[in-house]
Amino acid sequence: MKNVLFAISGPSGVGKGTLVGKLLQADPDLTLSVSCTTRAPREGEKDGVDYFFLTREEFLARKEAGDFLEWDEHFGNFYGTPRSFVWEQLKRKSVILEIDVVGALKVRDSLSDGEIVLIMIVPPDLHSLEERLAGRGSESEEAQKERLTRVRYELDKRKEYDYVVVNDDLDKAVERLQQIVATERKKA
């Protein structure tokens, strides 16, 4: 059994976090990568668990050194996937990057063929996701529209992914993910 690097993406509201949580819980040989960020820790967040919290200087130095498989700026802060940390984790376990479509495609481009397996979680249909997002009620109509445009963009990128898993039934989707993990671990 070899250790495999997976990126799991999916539009907001699709239940990706829950699926990844269940996957990790059921498989001690799987672990989640920890990203670096320059934003301040929120209440309860732990360094090295939720994120590696870096200063801007530290982040930029590591970026210059080529230590990010990808990085991006969100809300004025930097976020990146640390190459050396992921590689260290891969010595012991298979690793999941829970990462958006843009980030996942960037990581794939920075690696050789076959070094990462991309999995996208999709809703059974866009309409049901629209209803779920609207049901959150915490967002303005403008913000909801923006989110939907992003969802459509992300779903459109599914063609570039290795696997697409429909989250119509939670247990079935977890099973499907476990099959994918097993299949990829067996590949030479």
Write out the E strands in 56-134. Answer: 68-74, 77-82, 94-98, 117-122
Q: How far is CA 31 from the centre of its chain?
A: 12
Residue whose CB is less far from ligand 5GP, 35 or 89: 35
Is residue 9 within the footprint of ligand 5GP (CB under 6 A)? Answer: no
Q: Give the shortest CB-33-to-ligand 5GP separation in angstroms.
A: 8
Terminal CA-to-CA distance of the chain, rounded, Å?
9
**Candidate residues 5, 7, 23, 70; the one interacting with ligand 5GP per rule CB under 6 A:** 70
Q: Nearest 5 degrees, angle CA 51-CA 52-CA 56?
A: 115
Q: How far is CA 183 from the centre of its chain?
A: 20
**Candidate residues 11, 13, 80, 123; the one interacting with ligand 5GP per rule CB under 6 A:** 80
Is residue 72 within the footprint of ligand 5GP (CB under 6 A)? Answer: yes
Residue whose CB is less far from ligand 5GP, 102 or 164: 102
Tell me which stretch binds ligand 5GP (CB under 6 A): 72-80, 124-132, 137-145, 168-176: 72-80
Is residue 100 within the footprint of ligand 5GP (CB under 6 A)? Answer: yes
What is the secondary structure of 31-78 as a DSSP string?
EE---EE-SPPPTT--BTTTBEE--HHHHHHHHHTT-EEEEEEETTEE
User: Which letter, b or e, does each residue of 105-115 get, where b requires 16 or more Cβ atoms within 10 Å of its Cβ?
Assistant: bbbbeeeeeee
Both structure tokens of 150? 């992003």
Binding mask 24-63 for ligand 5GP (x = CB under 6 A): -----------x---x------------------------
User: How large is the C-alpha radius of gyration of the chain?
Assistant: 17
Tell me which stretch binds ligand 5GP (CB under 6 A): 1-9, 73-81, 116-124, 139-147: 73-81
- Count residues binding ligand 5GP (CB under 6 A): 11
Residues in the chain: 188
Residue whose CB is less far from ligand 5GP, 105 or 165: 105
Residues of this chain that interact with ligand 5GP (CB under 6 A) are: 35, 39, 70, 72, 74, 79-81, 99-100, 103
